[in-house]
Amino acid sequence: MNGVPDLALIFLALFALIIGAVLTAGETALTRVTRAHAAELASDGKPRAAAVQRLIDERHSAILGTGFVRVMAEMTAAVAITLVLATTVTTWWLAFGAAVGISALLLLVITGASPRRLGRRHPADTTHALAPILLALATLGRPIWVLSSRFAPGRTTREQTADTAEEMRDMVDLVSESEHLEDDEREMLHSVFELGRTITREVMVPRTEMVTIDADATLESAMRLFVRSGYSRIPVIGDDIEDIRGILYLKDALRRRENPRNDESQGAIPVEHIARNAEFVPETLLVDELLEQMQTRSFHMAIVIDEYGLIAGLVTLEDLLEELVGDMTDEHDHAEPEVEELADGTWRVPARLPVDELGEIFDLPVDDDDVDTVGGLLTKALGRVPIEGAIARVQGLELVAERAGGRRRQIETVLARRMSEDEEKDE
């Protein structure tokens, strides 16, 4: 055709296809390579590690420049194939159909699936190998990036982050369908994404369930409370729960007990003197931000305040970890308790048993509009969160907090017995 040999056009098409394949692999790798990959290349002493880092910093420009040249190479190959067929096939529609079919097949096989698979599986190595070429194309992509940003509405950083997180969720679902991930592993990955959407109020221990100790309580009283409650950190309060004086740590109490100072009796030391400063966080703080604060500032418990500055509850590092891995139990936790009759007319009942069912057991009209469960009835009668051994008498029954369980050491079972007439008179 006009003096251009078909052989030259064929070689041009092959060369353009090779260029397109290389750039396709590089473009795919650019979408996958991370700063962690660049750091790994640097630690391995790879000579182009710095270039890979630059490409990550200029990712958008590099992708646009690479994509632009790749499209030009693919179009060159398609046009060259069309010209060859136009000179060898006399029927125009046959030449047109053959050009479309052959071009599509070659582009799919040579510049499509295989190079993209290479870039996805080996993003760091591919980017490292093609770094000089990709850096040059990034220079070409800068004006394209400026033009595209000017004529197309850009997305905010938050929108881009949300889209990325959604894409990663879809990737997790896709991998789990192929059985490469177990269901619990997939749920854990989804939990990681949800940390950025969950606020502290949703995971905290509410103030009604907080176990506290008075600031003027003695060290011996604190040790007994530690043993009975099962906690290792307890908030110290002054006049009321709004007056948080600090956090008492079990290890600090033990250390002070074994090494008394200031010539004070070790059992008479007020706990306020050995309490640590409390950390306060708003209830609207995102869980992932709170976790980062706990890591950087080295604290495991924080007091949560509401929008009015009042105490809303407390949150611990374990609460945040449960958002990732689910409920954490230990060897001391028990199965769901059942109603059980013991000797001397005493019954062991779950703390979650409805109060009306408790009344049916003893044939008593036990009722309370403020609470629904036996545990709630005991808490209301005591005026505080019950711990093991706490006793209250209410509506003709004696309730004893028997056993606490779970990481939060909540009462699981209550011993209930009907009071005698003499005991009721003493009340």
Q: Characterize 50-85 residue by residue with b for buried, 16 or more Cβ atoms within 10 angstroms of its Cβ, and e for exposed.
A: ebbbbbbebebbbbbbbbebbeebbebbbbbbbbbb
Name residue, tokens 């398609």: 78
What is the pLDDT averaged over residues 186-212?
Answer: 77
| Strongest mean pLDDT among 76-90, 155-169, 194-208, 350-364 | 76-90
- Predicted local distance difference test score (pLDDT) of residue 220: 86
Helix axes 6-32, 59-88, angle to 10 degrees: 160
Q: What is the pLDDT of residue 106?
A: 87
Half-sphere exposure of 215 (CA within 13 A, CB side): 14
When pLDDT is averaged across residues 183-196 and rounded to a whole number, the result is 66
Average pLDDT for 357-376: 78
Phi, psi of 286 (to 5 degrees): -65, 145
Which of 396, 412, 314 has its CA nearest to residue 362?
Answer: 396
Q: What is the mean pLDDT of the chain?
A: 81
Does residue 334 carry a pLDDT above 70?
no
**Would the pLDDT of 282 be above 90?**
yes
Query: Does the structure show a pLDDT above 50 at 263?
Result: no
Q: What is the mean pLDDT of residues 398-415?
A: 75
Average pLDDT over residues 43-55: 89
User: Quick one: pLDDT band at residue 262, thresholds 50, 70, 90?
Assistant: very low
CA-to-CA distance for 104 and 290, rounded, in angstroms?
A: 53
Q: How far is CA 52 from the centre of its chain?
A: 29
User: 139: closest CA among 67, 58, 74, 50?
Assistant: 58
> What is the per-residue pLDDT for 76?
94
Confidence band, pLDDT 50/70/90 cuts, at residue 169: low
Q: What is the dihedral of CA 253, 257, 260, 261, to 10 degrees?
A: 10
- Does the pLDDT of residue 135 top 60, yes or no? yes
Residue 376, both tokens: 């709630």
Is the pLDDT at 134 greater than 60? The verdict is yes
pLDDT at 360 exceeding the cut of 90: no
Asked if pLDDT for residue 304 goes beyond 90, the answer is yes
Band of the pLDDT at 426, cuts 50, 70, 90? low
| Confidence check: pLDDT of 354 > 80 | yes
Confidence class for position 71, pLDDT limits 50, 70, 90: very high
Band of residue 280 on the pLDDT scale cut at 50, 70, 90: very high
> What's the confidence (pLDDT) of residue 382?
80
Q: pLDDT > 90: what percent of the chain?
A: 19
Domain architecture of the chain: domains with CATH: 6-151 (no CATH), 157-194 (no CATH), 200-325 (3.10.580.10), 340-426 (3.30.465.10)
Sheet holding 347-350, edge to edge: 340-341, 347-350, 410-418, 397-405, 391-394
Among the ranges given (122-136, 152-166, 332-346, 355-369), the one the predictor scored with the smallest mean pLDDT: 152-166
Mean pLDDT along residues 316-322: 84
pTM of structure? 0.52
| φ/ψ of residue 159, rounded to 5 | -65, -40
Residue 384 near residue 207 (C-beta atoms within 8 A) = no
Task: Check whether 60 has a pLDDT greater than 60.
Answer: yes
Q: What's the pLDDT at 175?
A: 59
Highest-pLDDT range among 64-73, 324-333, 381-390:
64-73
Q: Across residues 265-287, what is the average pLDDT? A: 85
Average pLDDT over residues 367-377: 77
